Amino acid sequence: MIKDIEPTRQLAPLPHGRGWGWVFLCLLIFNLASCDTFNCLLDTKVVCQYGFYSEGSSISVSDTLTVTALGIDSVLVNRQVNKSSVTLPVSYYGDVDSLEFKIKGPDGEARDTVYMVKRNIGHIEDVSCPAHMWHTITQVYSTHHLIDSVYINNADINYDTQENLQIYFRTAEE
């Protein structure tokens, strides 16, 4: 025996022209009440990368390397060996960073100071993210006991991890 199936009860349609107005208002309120969802960058180190070179090619400094920030006497790199590059912090507000590179080997030690002239500016991705200082290198020079010259490879010190400065060491014959 087949029973008559009672038709399912349907919702009354929205009043013509009115319902969509309410839908729109609800969506608008939902939009205004929604939270910010900005994703802050995770890797936001701002450091200056120094590469070591001699006669046009990259080298490793086999002797012990120590880098000190002059003025605050803070050791930034302590007795590292076999380094072909170093990443060093940059002062937030100083116009010139003076860094002493000390290289100590079996035959003694030598020191050179690298001066980096720069422009500093704050940077923030979003008001919900932490702020950092970015820098633009305008000039670089050094003493010349071991260092022959210093070149600016990338003047902008920011979240990009590129080599900023290239330090060319003097060759044994010089």
Residues that bind another protein (CB under 8 A): 17, 20-21, 24-25, 27-28, 31-32, 36, 69, 71-72, 74, 76, 89, 91-94, 121-131, 133-134
Shortest Å, Cβ 102 to another protein = 18
Query: H/E element holding 32?
Result: helix 19-33
Shortest Å, Cβ 172 to another protein = 35
Nearer to another protein, 125 or 163 (CB): 125
Nearer to another protein, 13 or 106 (CB): 13
- Chain-centroid distance, C-alpha 35: 28
Place of tokens 């302590």: 78
Shortest Å, Cβ 134 to another protein = 7
Q: What is the DSSP string of 83-114?
A: BSEEEEE--SS-SEEEEEEEEEETTEEEEEEE
Nearest to 63, CA basis, from 84, 83, 81 = 81
Shortest Å, Cβ 114 to another protein = 16
